[in-house]
Amino acid sequence: MGTFDDKQRKELSSKTQADIAFSKAMSKAVTQELKDHLLRRSKKLLPFDDIKERLQLWYGKDIGIRRVPLASIIGSQGRYRNFTRHFLPLDENLRNRWKDIEIAVESGRDLPPVELYKVCNAYFVKDGHHRISVAKAKKRTAIEAKVFEYNCDLSLDDKTDFEQIAILETYQRFLVQTGLKERPHHSLHLTVLGGYPILMEHIQRHRFYLEKKEQREFSVREAALSWHDNIYSPLRDLIRENKIIDKFPHRTEADFYIWISKHKNRLFQDVFEPDKAKGIVDNYSKIFSNPMRQFYGRLRRFFGLVKY
């Protein structure tokens, strides 16, 4: 009889501890959501089906069991509203299932691998949300997962959010329209919404210049390749040599191409002029490398006044 009572007490104790653990996780979720909202840096789990359609991800292949960093899991198929970006529970209805997983983990039972979709360096949950949530609550850093990988030319990682997905969607269309997948298009990645229409405008102006010069029609793809090789790439190389990008690690060379072009309207959209370009890049670098300007920029990013 005593053995039965001991077993019963242990089960009751496990359920109580699991109940407390869930309550703590949910309380932490609410606090974190409020803090992120006040600091204007709130990130939500990303919906996989929406991402799949936007980025035109069609073919996933089973790549087997992998040990996946929990920090790399940024979204979900179907349950993205039930958990925070850090997989803390947001819904009281998750309590019973969450507690069952917590008790199983504490008792040392083997659980099946979760199932994840991999897109670039990011992962989305197909099955196993509660297991991931419990692992996160226990401060685990990785989890066993069966992984299905989707080929993707773009860059997703643990920092990707809804706004950046919008940029990547535009980037995907830009690469398809211009044929610039044939070039090292990672160098054309932007961090600011509205940038790709500006690049397309530069390509169209360059196209007009080529047609006038050669007295024949040029396709958008021909003009885009010429623009990339003869105008964009030389200016990008000057930006690299200047090392201004080192002072702004959250920005890209393509960002600086656009900003320098705005700094000098219609810059080099017909013919690249190396001597003139070097002076403009140097001058731009001096203006934006000012320590006070950088400090002000960091403050704006900290308080969420700059999204990217």
pLDDT given at position 239: 85
pLDDT given at position 265: 57
Strand order through the sheet with 46-47: 46-47, 73-76, 122-127, 114-119, 142-150, 60-69
- 286, part of any domain: yes
pLDDT given at position 305: 47
- 308, part of any domain: no
Residue type, 269: Q
Q: Are residues 112 and 213 in the same domain?
A: no
Measured CA to CA, the distance from residue 73 to residue 289 in angstroms comes to 35
Q: Are residues 8 and 85 in the same domain?
A: yes
- 223, part of any domain: yes
Q: Are residues 120 and 192 in the same domain?
A: no
Q: Are residues 209 and 269 in the same domain?
A: yes
Measured CA to CA, the distance from residue 69 to residue 145 in angstroms comes to 10
Cβ atoms of residues 99 and 11 within 8 Å? no
Question: Residue 141 is part of a domain; what is its CATH number?
Answer: 3.90.1530.10
- 124, part of any domain: yes
Q: Are residues 80 and 166 in the same domain?
A: no
Measured CA to CA, the distance from residue 296 to residue 288 in angstroms comes to 11
Question: Which segments of the chain does DSSP mark as H helices, in order?
Answer: 2-38, 48-54, 95-106, 129-137, 162-178, 195-214, 220-227, 233-242, 253-263, 274-288, 291-302
- Domain coverage including residue 278: 162-302
Cβ atoms of residues 145 and 68 within 8 Å? yes
- 307, part of any domain: no
Strand 46-47 to strand 73-76: parallel, antiparallel, or no bridges (unpaired)? parallel
- 94, part of any domain: yes
Average pLDDT, the chain: 84
Measured CA to CA, the distance from residue 189 to residue 168 in angstroms comes to 8
Q: Are residues 91 and 198 in the same domain?
A: no
pLDDT score of 302 more than 70: no
pLDDT tens column, 137-193 = 999 999 999 999 998 877 788 788 888 888 888 998 999 899 998 776 567 889 888
Q: Are residues 190 and 122 in the same domain?
A: no
Alpha-carbon distances of 198 from 104, 127, 201, 231, 239, rounded to whole Å: 55, 41, 5, 14, 19
SS3 64: strand
- 254, part of any domain: yes
What letter would DSSP give residue 267? T
Q: Are residues 290 and 245 in the same domain?
A: yes
Measured CA to CA, the distance from residue 132 to residue 128 in angstroms comes to 6
What letter would DSSP give residue 27? H
- 173, part of any domain: yes
Residues in the chain: 308
What letter would DSSP give residue 83? B
Measured CA to CA, the distance from residue 211 to residue 140 in angstroms comes to 60
Q: Are residues 132 and 177 in the same domain?
A: no
Domain total in the chain: 2
Q: Are residues 8 and 89 in the same domain?
A: yes
Q: Are residues 188 and 74 in the same domain?
A: no
Cβ atoms of residues 225 and 180 within 8 Å? yes
Beta bridge partners of 66: 145
Which of 130, 150, 170 represents a domain boundary (last residue)?
150
pLDDT tens column, 6-49 = 555 556 688 889 999 999 999 999 888 888 777 666 678 999 99
Q: Are residues 142 and 21 in the same domain?
A: yes
Measured CA to CA, the distance from residue 94 to residue 151 in angstroms comes to 33
Higher pLDDT, 218 or 9: 218
- Lowest mean pLDDT, pick from 61-75, 112-126, 191-205: 191-205
